[in-house]
């Protein structure tokens, strides 16, 4: 019977770490036409490492120390990477006071009585803290798929820190498998357009970049008007975007709370479980029809 077939698929999927919240999820998953992926921690490993430093006055260690002082107040993956590099360089960073996130842009704190910021170069430029030389370097680094954090203090650029977050080893294969199922793949990210384009090109997928948290939800809503959309994210800060898709799938560190906000969870942290889930759903529904 129909429920028995779905129930056995659900339990077979669960044995390999693909949790679905019920039979309706199988039905919807079988018809998915587009999968939108959050970038950081979903398509990528989510553990960026510092690759390049550059400073206006040539003192890279001072730039690293200032960046670490500001990032001491942040738990963003980029913050962890910068703090780790500072520690490796033997820098005892002075943690800034009153650290606060600037949503989708970076983090700000008081250092020695001055306001300092680490985060998106675009925001630094908007604040008047950018130079032509820095901009050229930043654009070249971004074209290599690196994320660049601008470091400024009291309205003046001090330097830049470039970071790279490697794609998961199975990300490219997952996109290829989705493509062979006739399903489009799209990366959604708050990162800048050049970095996003370089990473998306390497994975042969579409992308939308420079999305603030609200923009991700809007992007999903507009995509979901034309296509049956699955959104794959980490389940915590992506909750509103997961909820806006026909199916929200949580992957990675957020999986303990995942099934509260998501329709499905991938416990094994494999991107290739996304096409696997759709394939299982299609086979199940095909067996029923």
**Which position among 78, 138, 171, 219 is part of the footprint of ligand ADP (CB under 6 A)?**
78
Q: What are the structure tokens assigned to 259, written together? A: 């099934």
CA distance 169 to 239: 25
Euclidean distance between the first and the last CA atom of the chain, given in angstroms as a whole number: 11
Q: Name the β-bridge partners of 229.
A: 34
The footprint of ligand ADP on this chain (CB under 6 A) covers a number of residues equal to: 19
**Which position among 119, 167, 233, 275 is part of the footprint of ligand ADP (CB under 6 A)?**
119
Q: Hey, which residues between 37 and 76 contact ligand ADP (CB under 6 A)?
A: 39-40, 71, 74, 76
Q: Which is nearer to ligand ADP, 9 or 189 (CB)?
A: 189
Residue pair 86/61 in contact (Cβ under 8 Å)? The answer is no
Pattern 40-59, Mg ion, x by CB under 5 A: x-------------------
Q: Which does 39 bind (CB under 5 to 8 A by kind): Mg ion, ligand ADP, none?
A: ligand ADP
User: 38 an active-site residue?
Assistant: yes
**Which position among 16, 21, 84, 105 is part of the footprint of ligand ADP (CB under 6 A)?**
105
Q: Which helix (H) or strand (E) holds 129?
A: none
Q: Which is nearer to ligand ADP, 26 or 117 (CB)?
A: 117
Residue pair 264/20 in contact (Cβ under 8 Å)? The answer is yes
Which position among 38, 191, 234, 273 bears the catalytic label?
38
* CA 138 to the chain's CA centroid: 20
130 Rama sector, left if φ>0, alpha if ψ -120 to 50, beta otherwise: beta
Rule CB under 6 A: say whether 173 interacts with ligand ADP: no
Q: Hey, which residues between 267 and 286 contact ligand ADP (CB under 6 A)?
A: none
Supply the DSSP symbol for 264: E
Q: Which is nearer to Mg ion, 9 or 40 (CB)?
A: 40
List, as one string, the DSSP characters of 213-259.
HHHHHHHHHHHHHHS-EEEEE-SSTTHHHHHHSSEEEEEGGGHHHHH
Supply the DSSP symbol for 42: I
Rule CB under 5 A: say whether 195 interacts with Mg ion: no
What residue is closest to ligand ADP based on CB? 190
Query: By the criterion CB under 6 A, which residues form the site for ligand ADP?
Result: 39-40, 71, 74, 76, 78-79, 104-107, 118-120, 147, 149, 189-191
Q: Which residues form the interface with Mg ion (CB under 5 A)?
A: 40
| Catalytic residue IDs | 38
């Amino acid at each position: 019977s129909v429920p028995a077939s779905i129930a056995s698929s659900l339990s077979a999927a669960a044995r390999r770490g693909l949790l679905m919240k019920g039979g309706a999820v199988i039905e919807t998953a079988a018809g998915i036409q587009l999968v939108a992926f959050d970038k950081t921690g979903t398509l990528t490993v989510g553990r960026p490492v510092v690759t390049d430093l550059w400073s206006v006055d040539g003192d890279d260690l001072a730039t690293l120390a200032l960046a670490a002082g500001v990032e001491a107040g942040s738990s963003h993956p980029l913050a962890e990477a910068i703090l780790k590099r500072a520690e490796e360089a033997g820098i005892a960073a002075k943690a800034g006071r009153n650290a606060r996130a600037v949503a989708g842009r970076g983090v700000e704190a008081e250092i020695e009585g001055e306001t300092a910021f680490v985060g998106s170069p675009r925001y630094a430029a908007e604040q008047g803290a950018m130079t032509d030389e820095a901009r050229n370097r930043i654009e070249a680094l971004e074209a290599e798929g690196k994320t660049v954090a601008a470091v400024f203090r009291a309205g003046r650029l001090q330097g830049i820190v470039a970071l790279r977050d490697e794609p998961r080893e199975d990300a490219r294969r997952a996109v290829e498998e989705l493509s062979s199922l006739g399903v489009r793949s799209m990366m959604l990210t708050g990162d800048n357009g050049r970095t996003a384009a370089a990473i998306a090109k390497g994975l042969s997928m579409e992308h939308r970049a420079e999305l603030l948290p609200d923009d991700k939800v809007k992007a999903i809503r507009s995509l979901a008007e034309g296509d049956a959309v699955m959104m794959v994210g980490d389940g915590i800060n992506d909750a509103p975007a997961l909820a806006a898709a026909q199916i929200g799938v949580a992957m990675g560190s957020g999986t303990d709370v995942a099934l509260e906000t998501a329709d499905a969870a991938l416990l094994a942290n494999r991107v290739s479980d996304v096409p696997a889930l759709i394939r299982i759903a299609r086979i199940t529904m095909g067996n029923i029809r």
